[in-house]
Amino acid sequence: MESCIIKSPLGFTKIIGNIDGISSVTVLNSEETITDVIPETLEDCATQLNEYFNGNRKNFSLKLNPEGTPFQKNVWLALQNIPYGKTVSYLELSKQLGDVKAIRAVANANGKNPIWIIVPCHRVIGSNGNLTGYAGGLHRKQWLLNHENPFKQQTLF
């Protein structure tokens, strides 16, 4: 596995992967040394993440290779179908996966998503519309949802 660290508006971001695909993208809670030379296998991921943060990318086209159970991988695949700028509830996601009673298992798999932003777990919210847990912190989840909102609220004052 190769890795690199890039800077994003939300902090230092670590990318891990190899020729089989990206296995992890995480935001770090401490300052790290930014990678001077990004490994060739991770260049496209770093470029696409920068395009996303600059507002020039809404969809990612990367080969992904996360480690997880078949159930987790199924949830992570479903997350990739949530459109940019949209949200779904954990209940809606459970229904899409065919088992409304699996809501806790779906939420657990969502929380273990190893590929931040590209597999958009930040687009899943509570049934009441509230933000709920996010491994990167709720402030980052709110930032990402605001970043993706195509109809940003204009202030009147």
Indicate if 80 and 144 belong to the same structural domain.
yes
Same domain for 27 and 93, yes or no, is no
The pLDDT of residue 152 is 55
pLDDT given for residue 52 in this prediction: 97
pLDDT value, residue 157: 47
Per-residue confidence in pLDDT tens, the chain, 157 aa: 999 999 999 999 999 999 999 999 999 988 888 889 999 999 999 999 999 999 999 999 999 999 999 999 999 999 999 999 999 999 999 999 999 899 999 999 999 999 999 999 999 998 888 888 787 888 999 999 999 986 655 554 4
User: What total number of domains does the chain contain?
Assistant: 2
CATH classification at residue 107? 1.10.10.10
CA distance 28 to 59: 23
Establish if 154 belongs to a structural domain: no
Q: Residue 75 half-sphere exposure, CB side, CA atoms within 13 Å?
A: 29
Question: Structural domain of residue 125, as residue ranges?
Answer: 70-148
Q: At what angle are helices 70-79 and 103-111 packed, to 10 degrees?
A: 80
Please tell me whether residues 133 and 82 are part of one structural domain. yes
Q: What is the pLDDT of residue 150?
A: 61
Q: Which residues are catalytic?
A: 121
Alpha-carbon distance values, 30 to 34, 40, 113 (Å): 12, 25, 20
